[in-house]
Amino acid sequence: MFDFQSAEEIMKRCHQTQLITSKGYPCENHYVTTEDGFILNLQRIPHGKRNTDKEGKTTKPVVLVQHGLLASSTCFLENLANESLGFILADAGMDVWLGNSRGNFYSRKHKTLKPSDKEFWAWSWDEMAKYDMPANIEYILGLTGAKQITYIGHSQGTEMAFARLSEDAELNKMINLFVALAPVANVGNIKGPVKVFAPYSKDIEAFFDTLGIFEFLPDTKVNQWLAKNFCDKEIPEFLCENVLFLLCGFDYKETNMSRVPVYVGHNPAGTSVQNILHYAQSVNSGLFQKFDYGSAEENMRHYNQTTPPLYDVKKIETPIALFTGPEDWLADPTDVSKLRPLLKNIIYDKDIPEWNHLDFIWGMNAPQACYKDIISLIGRIQQ
C-alpha cells in the first residue's frame, strides 16, 4: 500500500528544501523578519526543470503560495512533481514562493522570544494577516523587482488575505490576483471537532493556560480520544489520530493512499492555542472578526472598543478567484455563500463537485480540476 519513496520522504520532515531538490528543482531559503519580531521562512523555486534562468530579478509571474491551518509550505510539495502545485507553477514558467506562517515547524524563531515563552504564542491569524502577509509580499517584491504578485491561499491562507486586504489599501495594489482555495472568513457552519468544542472555548482556554500549554500540537492521547469520538470508522486508525485529517475530513476518492505517509510525516506543522481559540470564537459568533480577549476592558486595551472589530471584506479591491468544494468541512458551502456576495471583484468562481478541504492541496485530480485553471488565470492577468 505504501511505497519506499514515501517512507524516505517522511524522514525529510524538517528539511523541506529536500522535497524540492530531490525532485530536480532549484530551491532557495529566505528569511523575513516581521514588524513584531517573528522570523519567517520562505522557500523559493525560481524556475522549473526546463527553465534554467537563475537571475534574481525576474519578468516572470511572481507567485506567493500560503498554506492553511496546521500546515506548512510542504503541503504544496508532497505529491509527485506533476501533481504538486508548487512544482506545477514553476514548470509553467513562474517564480514560486512558498510561505510558512509563524509558529509552524519552519517559522519558530523570533528576535527576542523563544518557543518556550508564553508571549511567543500570543497571536492568532489576526497577526498572520497584519504582520506575516505584508512582510512576505514586500520582501518578495523588493528582491524580484516585480511590481505585483499573484497570491494563492489555501484555507487559513485565504483568511489572512481576506482580513489584511480589507484593511490595507496599499497591499491591494501589490496583488494582481488573489486565488482563494477553500476560502475561509466567517465559519459559523463548519463541521467536525471545532464545531463541537466551540461552545466550551473559554473552559478550554483556561485548561490550557493552567497547564502552561500555548502551542497547539496535540499529543498522542488527545489525538486518540478525538479519533475515537469523531473519526469515520472506515478511515484507517493512524489517519484518525492525525489532527489535520480530524479537523478537515478525508476524501478516499481524491487521495493517493501511497502518498499518505508523506502527508502524515509533515503534518500537522503546529500553531498556537490562541489561534485555535480564535476559530472557536468565530464559530460561536458566526462573524468575521478579530480575536476576543475575553473582557470589555481587554478589548478596549487592544482595539479601543469593547468588542472585537469586524473585518469588512467589501473594501477589497484585488481581483479574486474562488475555488470551493461542496463537501468542505472548514470552508462550508453555507459560509461561502454568505461571503460571496460581499466580494465585489470576483473574476472567477468554480465549485468542484464532491471536493473537500484537503483536495485542493492533495487531490489526485487537482492538476486537471483546479491547477490548470489557476495557471490560465495568472496568464490572463499578466496580459
Distance separating alpha carbons of residues 25 and 44, to the nearest angstrom: 10
Please work out, in degrees rounded to the nearest 5, the angle formed at the alpha carbon of residue 282 by the alpha carbons of 278 and 284. 115
Please work out, in degrees rounded to the nearest 5, the angle formed at the alpha carbon of residue 16 by the alpha carbons of 241 and 8. 65
Q: Encode 284-346 in three state secondary structure.
A: HHCCCECCCCCCHHHHHHHHCCCCCCECCHHHCCCCEEEEECCCCCCCCHHHHHHHHHHCCCE
Determine which one of 328, 332, 335, 359 is catalytic: 328
Determine which one of 155, 201, 272, 282 is catalytic: 155
Provide the grid cell at 46: 525560481
Catalytic-residue membership of 328: yes
Distance separating alpha carbons of residues 371 and 360, to the nearest angstrom: 9
Instruction: Decide: 171 and 134 in contact? Cβ < 8 Å.
Output: yes
Other beta carbons within 10 Å of 12: 16
Determine which one of 47, 67, 110, 357 is catalytic: 357
Distance separating alpha carbons of residues 332 and 283, to the nearest angstrom: 12
Catalytic-residue membership of 155: yes
List, by residue number, the catalytic residues.
155, 328, 357
